[in-house]
Amino acid sequence: MQKICFHFQISQPFRLRTYRFFDINVHHDYFDEFQNSYLVNRLAERCYLPANRLMLDLIRQYPGKIAVSYSIAGSSIKLFQEYCPEVIDSFKELLATGCVEITGSTFTHSIASLHSKTTFAEQVRLQEELLQEVFGIKPTTFCNTEMIYSDEIGEWLAEMGYKIVLTEGAKHILAWKDPGYLYCNPFQTDLKLMLRSYALCDDITLRFNDKSWDQYPLTAEKYLGFLKSVPAEVPHINFAFDYETIGEYYTQETGIFDFFRSLFAHFAEMEEYQMITPNTMIDSTEKYTTLNIPWAISGMGEEKDTEDWVGNELQQEAFDQLFKLEPLYLESRNETAKLNWLRLQSADHFNFMSTKWLNKKSVKRNFDVYPSPYQAFINYMNVLNDVKLQLS
């Protein structure tokens, strides 16, 4: 019996308003309340609420047969609390079923793990506190921002008490190995790794509504046929993608809700599959081997690297200047400025500066309001310079 793990990621940043050079040290309101309210309510209406209802219906229809997990960035939780608290209530209802897990993640969908243990640990700590406060849980599994992972990051997480990490099944790391097996960190061998089968994920996230695809339209039955390509002796098939795939990237009219309802129903009814949450593997006696990941990987692009956030000079300059403020953050007593510095670590701000996808459509740019990566950089740096003054 193959174990099926479906993990959904939710991360919406506090988006920046237009902040000009002459606003520095004059105005300290950096975030666009209208855009933040509009977008999170739009996503709640199109994705979060109907998708949560779908999951709850399936769990009730197939008791003990449906299992899903989520990572919800603290910034998203804060937006839900402020603009649409009914989303929080719907996740509490899902958690109460015992069939849903919320994993650990970073507080602001931060890329701090690419910089230092200190700030990354702070992000993880703040997220843990928020999950305890809102949902009454302490996670033991972890999914980092955009699935960023390396051996060193794994060591940090093991020291923080995590037992399972979800990350990418990158080809250049696995070589001939299959992502469907359990692996572990080479230095902290008690930390298990569950790797995403990205090719199978891409069939949904990239090609579901692609009318030029020779497999269009994608149905649950057809997709189950794709899964038959995974050898029966491979114990796991791990999926992870943005929750917004259901209802936002692909609207209800495309049939995406019907697809997932049918797919999950098939998993519940078929004897050869068992849906699980990641935490069920903590005490598993299943064999696992070490996997060396010396350089950071992610779930983005064909290269599965970190180029989406630090791949060009604009991003690298913003990244360097951002983390130069770490000592000021640690010493500052200005709690508002400290929170703003944490929010500026969001991967989304750096994605808006990316030139990698200028000639391609990327779902990560769905909510990009900047006319160019350069404008995104200028606006970000103006805000960062004011935050620096407030931290000082």
Rounded to whole angstroms, what are the CA distances from 14 to 5, 347, 380? Answer: 30, 11, 12
- What span, in angstroms and rounded, lies between the C-alpha atoms of 67 and 39? 28
Q: Which of 101, 122, 146, 168 is catalytic?
A: 146
Is 302 tagged catalytic?
A: no
Nearest CA-CA partner of 175 in 47, 289, 36, 12: 289
Coil, helix or strand at residue 158: helix
Are 279 and 194 in contact by the 8 Å Cβ rule? The answer is: no
Please state, in angstroms and as integers, the Cα–Cα distance from residue 280 to each residue in 147, 210, 238, following that order.
20, 35, 13
Is 380 exposed, middle or buried, given 0-12, 13-18 or 19+ CB atoms closer than 10 A?
Answer: buried
- Of the candidates 190, 139, 126, 153, the one whose C-alpha atom is nearest the C-alpha of residue 293 is 153
Strand partners, 71: 9
How does strand 182-184 pair with strand 164-168?
unpaired
Q: Return the active site residues.
A: 146
